[in-house]
Amino acid sequence: MDFQAARRIMVDSQIRPNNVSDPEYVHAFMAVPREAFVPSGKKSIAYSEFEIPTGEDRAMWIPRDIAKMLKALAPRPSDVALVIGAGSGYSAALLAELTETVIAVEDSEEAVDRLTERMSALGYDQVAAVEAPLTEGLPDQAPFDVILICGMVEQVPAALTAQLADGGRLGAVVKMDDALGRARIYSRAGDTVGHRDSFECTPPEFTCFRKPAAFVF
């Protein structure tokens, strides 16, 4: 299979038509070999308009959705980015094409080892994989200019928005009452954190970000 040609078709049919045509994003999606981040049996559909499971609670987003999220986050070449629940690492690799440094967080040693091996094999030396609880991030290495939560959540912990630099942006898909997800961009200005909604999508849910069950008499 000609993966380079498939990558171009993905960009032309899924990325550009969704208002993500800026040269830096097109370059990132053309540069990152999506097939290297999917299970071996799924390589033939790596560039299809499908969500591809890569592990428990982990999946590569539909290309359109991750493209729209990255554009909404507006990463800059000098930024330091934190990726929460990085999974196979595709989103982290895209951000590595758009920022200076990426820290990819996973919650198991095995997942971190796989990420480290894959990033090294692909030459992404600016991506570091770290083991930590997803809901806590990396407060000792904060602040971050960009934080991306790679799944749908019921809530975004204050512990994560607190790790944003002044002017920093956090992207997450927040689960709504109708079970749909809404991409939401949080931004910090001084001591104030606000947010705006961007678009709807439904990536796999991160169960560790569920709200505590309310007590009922």
The answer to whether residue 200 is domain-embedded is: yes
Residue 169: inside a domain: yes
CATH number at residue 174: 3.40.50.150
- Domain assignment present for 145: yes
Residue 129 is assigned to a structural domain of this protein: yes
Return the pLDDT at 213. 64
- Domain range for 166 is 51-209
**pTM, entire model:** 0.94
HEC per residue, 23-47: HHHHHHHHHCCHHHHCCHHHHHHCC
How large is the C-alpha radius of gyration of the chain?
Answer: 16
Q: Is 24 domain-assigned?
A: no
Q: What is the predicted pLDDT for the residue at 37?
A: 96
- The tens place of each residue's pLDDT in the chain, 217 residues long, gives 899 999 999 999 999 999 999 999 999 999 999 999 999 889 999 999 988 988 877 899 999 999 999 999 999 999 999 999 999 999 999 999 999 999 999 999 999 999 999 999 999 999 999 999 999 999 999 999 999 999 999 999 999 999 999 999 999 999 987 678 999 999 999 999 999 998 998 888 898 888 776 555 5
Element (H, E) at 194: strand 192-201
What total of structural domains would you count in the chain?
Answer: 1
Domain membership of residue 8 (yes or no) is: no
Distance CA 53, CA 212 (A): 26
State the pLDDT at residue 203.
87
Burial of residue 192, with CB atoms counted within 10 A of its CB: 0-12 exposed, 13-18 middle, 19 or more buried: exposed
**Residue 73 located in a structural domain:** yes
The whole-number pLDDT of residue 4 equals 95
Q: What is the 3-state secondary structure (H, E, C) of 80-138?
A: EEEEECCCCCHHHHHHHHHCCEEEEEECCHHHHHHHHHHHHHHCCCCEEEEECCCCCCC
2 is a domain residue: no
